[in-house]
Chains A and B, each alone.
Chain A
Amino acid sequence: MELAFYASALVALLASLGVVTGTNPVHALLYLIVSLISVALTFFALGAPFAGALQVIVYAGAIMVLFVFVVMMLNLGSDASAQERAWLKPRTWVGPSILAGLLLLALLGTLLRGDVARVIGGTSIDAQAVGGLLFGPWLLVVELAAMLLLAALVTASHLGRDAEPDRASGGES
């Protein structure tokens, strides 16, 4: 369990670095999928199999398919990769990296000096416990999440419509 956790955490960190530093959008997307799946593996290693399965199905499955389709529709190829390489100069990434590194140092220092002293011992929380909570005290939050997803669906279908034909006449459909 410990070995699985540390190995998949290492893979997740390296793959996320690959996303952030990559120049080809398709390769960065594949790195992102690897990162999400290895975070799902850390969920399994920590003892949350329901969350791990959801991460694989919803995150690495559904949401990443959206990203892949958009990258395919935008047809981002080698010229996009060349432009990314031109944008990634050291004087653009040094400042933000220093800021993010300082934030990381502050977080790690707080975690190291804090007295948490809790050990995750492999007690697994199954889907039954989570489902019982979802349809018990958290029922209102589930319905709010459904409303949020409905609003996102309406927004995406409104924004995603093809407005090209009547742009020349200045009409707003």
Chain B
Amino acid sequence: MSGIPMEHGLMVASALFAIGLAGLMVRRNLMFVLMSLEIMLNAAGLAFIVASTAWAEPHGQVMYLMVITLAAAEASVGLALVLQIYRHFRSLDVDAVSQLRG
């Protein structure tokens, strides 16, 4: 056995994405929703790295850097929102925030 087929890497990425998507739809706690989003973004980054190494081109790693930047921005804004929601509603339930009014 020599080398990893590219399909296997992409299969791992899509399985991670599906797990994150299931978590995003199932969970009601905002912390778990943010964690599932991190899993999905990480799966997208893994797909970029797999494509980058399969073609031996560094462009995919540049796109991975963009994905990681997006994940950092999303996590900081999302966690600040979670803190404010917890201060306001004393709960992390997404359904408590569904009425667009404080």
Residues 56-102 (chain B) with a chain A CB within 8 angstroms: 56-59, 61-62, 64-66, 68-77, 79-84, 86-87, 92
Q: For B14, list chain A residues within 8 Å (CB).
A: 104, 107-108, 111
CB distance from A146 to the nearest CB of B (A): 9
Bitwise, A115-154 to B at CB < 8 A (1) or not (0) is 0101111110100011011100010010001001101110
Q: For B2, list chain A residues within 8 Å (CB).
A: 119, 121
Number of interface residues of A (CB under 8 A): 87
Number of interface residues of B (CB under 8 A): 71
B19–A13 CB distance below 8 A: yes
B79 nearest in chain A by CB position = A70
CB distance from B83 to the nearest CB of A (A): 6
B87–A164 CB distance below 8 A: yes
19 additional A-B residue pairs with CB within 8 Å, beyond A46-B49, A48-B49, A111-B10: A9-B8, A16-B20, A20-B22, A22-B32, A32-B38, A35-B42, A45-B4, A48-B61, A54-B64, A54-B68, A67-B35, A76-B31, A111-B14, A118-B54, A120-B9, A125-B56, A148-B70, A153-B76, A156-B76
Q: For A108, list chain B residues within 8 Å (CB).
A: 11, 14-15
A125 to B56, CA, bound (A): 7
Nearest 3 interchain pairs by C-beta: A20-B23, A96-B25, A152-B73
Q: For B39, list chain A residues within 8 Å (CB).
A: 16, 19-20, 32, 35
B46 nearest in chain A by CB position = A39
CB distance from B59 to the nearest CB of A (A): 6
- B interface SS class: helix
Q: For B72, list chain A residues within 8 Å (CB).
A: 58, 62-63, 149, 152
Q: For A157, list chain B residues within 8 Å (CB).
A: 80
CB distance from A37 to the nearest CB of B (A): 11
A156 to B78, CA, bound (A): 8
| Given known A-B contacts A47-B53, A138-B62, A152-B77, A111 and B27 have beta carbons under 8 A apart | no
Q: For A160, list chain B residues within 8 Å (CB).
A: 80, 83-84
B58–A125 CB distance below 8 A: yes
**Interchain residue pairs with CB less than 8 A apart (29):** A2-B1, A2-B4, A22-B32, A28-B35, A32-B35, A35-B39, A39-B46, A46-B4, A47-B53, A51-B52, A54-B65, A55-B68, A58-B72, A63-B75, A70-B79, A71-B31, A76-B31, A92-B26, A93-B26, A96-B22, A99-B22, A107-B17, A111-B10, A118-B54, A138-B62, A141-B62, A151-B73, A152-B76, A160-B84
CB distance from B67 to the nearest CB of A (A): 10
